[in-house]
Each structure stands twice: as C-alpha cells, then as structure tokens.
Amino acid sequence: MIDPRHFRDVLGTYPTGVCVITAVDAEGHRSGLVVGSFTSISLDPPLVGFFPDKRSGTWPKIAAIGRFCVNVLGADQLDLCRRFASKADDKFAELAHGHTPSGQPLLDDAIAWIDCAVERVEDIGDHWLVVGAVEAMERREHGTPLLFFRGQYHDLVCLQDS
C-alpha cells in the first residue's frame, strides 16, 4: 500500500503552475478556487483540464454555472493565491477584476487566461477531472508564473546558457 504522505512528498518534487478557476452565475455570485493541477489536454479540439477535490465547497458552484475562466497566476500574485485558497465567504470582496468574453471573472494581472465551457466532468478517485472546451484566451507578454514545488510557492528563475 502507498502511504498518502509519501505519495504527496514524491509528487511534490514535480513543480506545478498555480491557477485560480473563476466563474459567475446568472445572479452575479462569483466563485473562485485555486488549483495546481491545470493542464492542456488537446489541441484539436482545444481542451484543457483541472482536478478539483471532491471535498471542495466551491467546485459545485462553478459546475452548476457550466463555464469557467482559468487565471494563470504570476509570481507576484501570492496574496491573490492565498485569498482564493481561503475558506472566506466572499473571496472577491473589494477585488477589482475584468471579465472574459463570456463574462467570467478575469483577475487583473494574471499572466494568462483561458475562457472555457465545461465539456465534461469525470469521477477520478478523490477528485473530479474537469474538461473545458476553450473558447477564448490571451497572455501577457511579460511576467513569470507562480510555481508550487515541495509544498512551497516559488518564482521561476530563468536559466541562460553561459
């Protein structure tokens, strides 16, 4: 049997980017959750995916909306990451933000964003696999991603050949 703590420690040696998944319902209630499990799935058709925990209280709200925006956080957005990782009732309180073409919350200064419709949701162990059909996207020309590695957040250090 695999020890869960050892499993987490070993897989924690693989660095991941940090994203905030956002959505807004028809009544204007905004939801957002942090994920480190975002990935591209397919180029044709353009599909992306992420894995929310089944214990998440936020994912069911986003699932009901049927749309979401992936906000790729920059290294300078650790405070924003912590805000959306919290259990606060209103994670958007006093937070200015824009909107994607479909109207989903677009976090200011995200280094990239991907506007999606939920394509399907699969039951995978203690998580869901959410597949999103990409409808619009953009990136900033500058900025480095916020990374999660060995249980801590990091900035990307660009290495150059000498």
Average pLDDT over residues 47-65: 97
Domains of the chain: 4-155 (2.30.110.10)
Residue labelled with tokens 């953009």: 138
CA distance 27 to 149: 37
CA distance 20 to 35: 6
The residue type found at 45 is: P
Q: What is the pLDDT of residue 160?
A: 56
The residue type found at 142 is: H
Residue labelled with tokens 């924690």: 12
CA distance 112 to 77: 13
The answer to whether 65 and 23 are in contact (CB under 8 A) is yes
Average pLDDT over residues 125-152: 94
Of 61, 72, 65, 128, nearest to 102 by C-alpha is 65
User: pLDDT by residue (tens digit) across 78-136?
Assistant: 999 999 999 888 999 999 999 999 999 999 999 999 999 999 999 999 999 999 999 99
The band of 39, judged by pLDDT with boundaries at 50, 70 and 90, is very high
CA distance 112 to 141: 9
CA distance 5 to 8: 5
- Phi-psi category of residue 61: left, alpha or beta, with phi > 0 → left and psi -120 to 50 → alpha: alpha
- 79 CB-side CA count, 13 A: 5
* Other Cβ atoms closer than 10 A to 116: 28
- pTM for the model: 0.92
